[in-house]
Amino acid sequence: MARRLLRRTGQRCRSAAAPPSGKGGGAPAVAALSDERRDRRHPLRLISPLALVSITSAAVAASGCVAPQDDEPLASVAQPAVDAGERQHSPVYVKNWPTTDGRTQWSNVVIVNPSAQPVSVTLVVHPTDGGPRLGVVSKTIAGFATYNAYGDPAWNGIAESDPANHRSLGWIELQSSAPVVASHRITIRDGSTYDAPARLFEDEPFIKSPSTRLLSSYFLKNWPASGNKTQWSNIHVVNPGPVAAHITVKVHRNDGSGVLATLSRTVPATGAWGSYGDAGWLAIPNTDAANTGAYGWVEVTSDQPVVASNRISVRTGATYDAPLFLLDDLAFTPSTSTDLAGSFFLRNVPATGTLTQWSNLVVNNPSPTPTDVVVTVHRTDGGPDLGSFTRTIPAMGAWNAYGDPGWNGIPDSTPGRSIGWVEIHASNPVFGTNRVVLRDGSAPSAPVALLDEEPLVQATENSLFSSLYLKNWPASAGVTQWSSAVVNNPSAYPVTITVRIRKVDGSGSLASFTRTIPAKGWWNASNDPGWTGATETDALNHRSIGWVEINASAPVLGLDRVVLRQGTTADAPVVLLDGTPLSAGARATQDLIAGWISRAPALDYVWGSANPAVEGWPAAGSSVTWRAHVRNRSSAAATAVPYRWSIDGAVAATGTVNVPANGMATVELPWTWTSSRREIAFSIDPDDVVSETHEINNRIAVDSDAISVGLWVEQSVHDYFDDHQRELGAGSNSWEDWAQRQVRMWNEMFAASIYPEAPSGVLDRIRLDKVVVVPDDALPLAGGYPTNNPNLNDRTVDLQWGFPNDASIGTFYGDHATRSSSNPFYYEASLLHELGHARYLVDVYGFNVHVSAGNRIDILENGAPIVGTPYMPYVNSWRDAVRYTPYTGLMNGNGPTVDRHSAVALNLIRGRRATLGNYNAPGNLGAYLNDLPAQNELTVRDASGAALPGASVKIYRAGPGVGWYAKVYDNTADMSLTADAAGKVLLGRCPFSATGGIIHTNNHSNGVAIVRVQSGDRVGYGFIEATDFNLEYWRGRTALGRHELRVALRKQGTAAVSVDELAPTERVSRPLVVKHEVSDLVGQ
């Protein structure tokens, strides 16, 4: 394998539903739609936290709580994000607008600027009739700051659409000069002022994308809840465009049997239509057996893009305008998917006092064909799934988990209760809702106290935001607001998240921390000290307000729950709650990457050095400089970015650096050289001040005495990795991130390669010292091969490899999703194997013995070949090998550890620079193979372990053949010996070669000899391998190595038997050299 060209083969290199029942006949069809709802719901990607975790995403800072009312729905839509220059919408604006029970509704907006640059925003409030605007509020929001409309005179000064009653009704349009995150809180208050005591509240993200088809899981008319209450739905459709929209509203039956009703309405330009009190809406037929109520789902189509929301009301009475008990606003969604998730699975999970939490799914099939859905409930810790079942949803129908035996049969996660989260996989695109209900009691039919509707969502984003972080923040008298986030990981791999809680004025962070979420698990902020211990913005009153940014190494789901509590502690009684999906709209665009750390001066290794542990290294006490190379993957310059150097964990230097757009910068650390190992670490943006697409590639740590590697990469390959590494969801976003992963996993492999002769593993560590990007077709730069020898003139590094662009790049590195040792785009084990050669290691698999083309065993027993008989059976199903070396690992394939033989060989040159080349293959490749004891004693034993005194022992050496590591054994023994009374024979220094040297290269490997043992009339065959002799030598037995060989003896003269006739255990059995005692190890 002396000149391995490419290792792109990934192989060893031989050379280089049940529909709900009717209202009167059993359990209510809608998630017991008997839950009230004091909160709202949003169709984003969310997840279900628990344990009454507070979650928010668009709330009022200093205001109380909000809540919707009954005669107008609320705003909400899929994703609360905006692109630069785009608009977002909220379907409802209310100011002192009455409810049916004498309370009033009020709107409040919170807007977050998630970037470092100021952003201009304009809020336009339109009347529902499409007439002149009611008002315009323009603001400039500083970098990383928020705007809160609560108490703002400009916001309070919006004109009244009904001046006679001093009230307004309309909808909101948001324009911004750059992406922002915005949410709308509606509060129901006891009084006619914006700061009157709050009784209900609802947070909804602004809607980014109007659509011509919108969907909602619920149509409810006089549907029973618990406690003699009823459920009602009311929709609100907004036309944000300049042309009137003609909409068609269809209410579908849940069993897929048809449409209950179709309504056609015209919505004026920049106007709205609401179904509250609409005669056609109220006349939709009943579906229950008693003919008193209806339950279905809603589809809105339009000739112009529109946005819409659905308000679910729980009322004390049997009319649509009965007194309001609870409500929740659920945005219509334009999206369907075959893969959806719900943040919570909750069954009898305690909240506070006697309240318990329960969840229920509704999944809707808006397609003309039935769909199968697989419902899986995951544990929060990522452990074995709690349960899974399949349901079929009819065409244009719905499935409701309420009362479903599969749903009810999910096992408890702890005795008496169950908590987890839900994934849905469907054969056709679907949409759905997850209802969370707080009940006063521990039974699924206990009275409803609170409810929250959340859309089932997809995980498509790495960056999520919440408009509010609240800790003990005042609402109404004696009531405080608390928020808590939950993040779900739908990936099959662990995900790392960075959580930043920022100040509302943009002046810094209240907290920043990193957490790892297990595969299929979640992170819950409610009890996390990083979340609960965030700095207080009002220390005197022990309270905080801010906003939240979460960046993940792979797409995640998120939900922020805001809870109002009667008291000033995190466990005070719950009064209200609302869950809001974390917004995925305004994503970070910048990524700062700690690429690699080099050392200056760059010293050449000394060719042929007799003392490479000293020569080529800096002199003790001399001045050196560590140089961190930082990339900015952004079209905007990064200015005054903080950095930190540390040595052995202690801060050594701090400062700031400017990194040009799409450019590089270096940061230096002067140091006095010592050969003692120290950890040198560098972090860019160590306190996570800068919002980035990827946060876990900001730090690298190296060992000061590490062996250096340089990588030369052609531009197209570098660009390919830059374009696609992020798709792995492993926190990587560049070629350098991928390269550092290879080095990190190599070092981890070294540490894990522990054997009796290497009790501390492989002692060296590797440091990426150089990344050189060159034009396509430039490699090699100084002759040789483009992979093995990218730059033969460079002797500053101890190892080098090149990455030329060729047609195989997109195939070899084509798997952008799988994080496994078999995917080179994640972990290219074959690269480490080839660099092992550059360090001087040989292919250990070359000690396997094959009988394929170019390899032969011509030994006969009783005139017949021994291969394929009980004397020497095949060891694989291909019938081309009779012996595999027992040493498995990096140089016998690709890992996951360094094999025993190579690990010790590496420790022989621990701390030494290259001497005869830093490329594959160097002039000292396999030099250690000739470390053989001066004399070697072999004890022959039978299969039971009994010594064979007087046995005849013959040695057959391997001659040359054709191909890498070829071996040809003729029928003439090269050594004939007789065992003494203890079964021992002396083999000399090198029984493998008449000339005394081990050969291991193309066309010839003589490192394995065949041994024939005859005791009486019984004969057996085995093998001895030079690696075992090396290990004896390295154990300190340089004068006399001791070895044992056990063979299975068979009576001489027995007719040859095909290996296929042998028992399985005999078929794979083979003699092994065993039981070497460990003494002092040379070089350890």
DSSP per-residue codes, 294-359: EEEEEEEEEEEEEEEEEEEEEESSSSTTSPEEEEEEEE-B---EEEEEEEEEEEEEE-STTEEEEE
Between β-strands 337-350 and 355-364, what pairing exists: parallel, antiparallel or unpaired? antiparallel
Query: Is residue 1057 classed as helix, strand or coil in its secondary structure?
Result: coil
Residue with structure tokens 């919707």? 68
CA distances from 296 to 143, 220, 282, 301 (A): 45, 7, 14, 17
Q: Which residues contact 164 (CB under 8 A, 6 or more apart)?
A: none
Interval 579-635: pLDDT, tens: 988 887 556 678 999 999 999 999 999 999 999 999 999 999 999 999 999 999 998
Say what the pLDDT of residue 585 is: 59
Confidence band for 693, pLDDT divided at 50, 70 and 90: confident
pLDDT > 60? residue 45: no
In three-state secondary structure terms, 728 is: helix
**Which structure tokens are listed for 296?**
């279905």
Residues in the chain: 1084
**DSSP 3-state of 845:** helix
pLDDT one-digit tens code per residue, 820-848 = 989 999 999 999 999 999 999 999 999 99
Residue 881's H or E segment, with its range, is strand 881-883
Span 63-91, average pLDDT: 45
Q: How confident is the model at residue 762 (pLDDT cuts 50, 70, 90)?
A: very high
Directed axis angle between helix 735-752 and helix 829-839, to 10°?
A: 70
| Contact in structure between 772 and 744 (CB atoms under 8 Å) | no
Q: How far apart are CA 597 and CA 131, in angstroms?
A: 63
Q: Which tens digits make up the pLDDT trace of 122-152?
A: 999 999 999 999 999 999 999 999 999 999 9
Ordered DSSP codes for 460-476: -EEEEEEEEEEESEE-S
Contact 183, 110 (CB under 8 A): yes
Q: pLDDT value at position 13?
A: 37
Sign of CA dihedral 184, 187, 192, 195: negative
Give 948-981 as a DSSP string: -TT-EEEEE--B--SSBT--EE-SS-SEEEE--T
Looking at residue 532, its pLDDT comes to 95
SS3 category, 766: strand
Q: Is the pLDDT of residue 34 over 80?
A: no
**What gap in Å lies between CA 82 and CA 207, rounded to an integer?**
9
Domains annotated on the chain, with CATH: 589-705 (2.60.40.10), 846-883+923-1068 (2.60.40.1120)
pLDDT at res. 101: 83
pLDDT at 202: 87
pLDDT for res 104: 96
Question: Lowest-pLDDT range, 286-295, 519-528, 910-919?
Answer: 286-295
Give the predicted TM-score (pTM) of the model: 0.74
Contacts of 152 (CB under 8 A, 6+ apart): 137
Mean pLDDT estimate for the chain: 88
Lowest mean pLDDT among 60-69, 301-310, 571-580: 60-69
pLDDT on residue 1054: 56
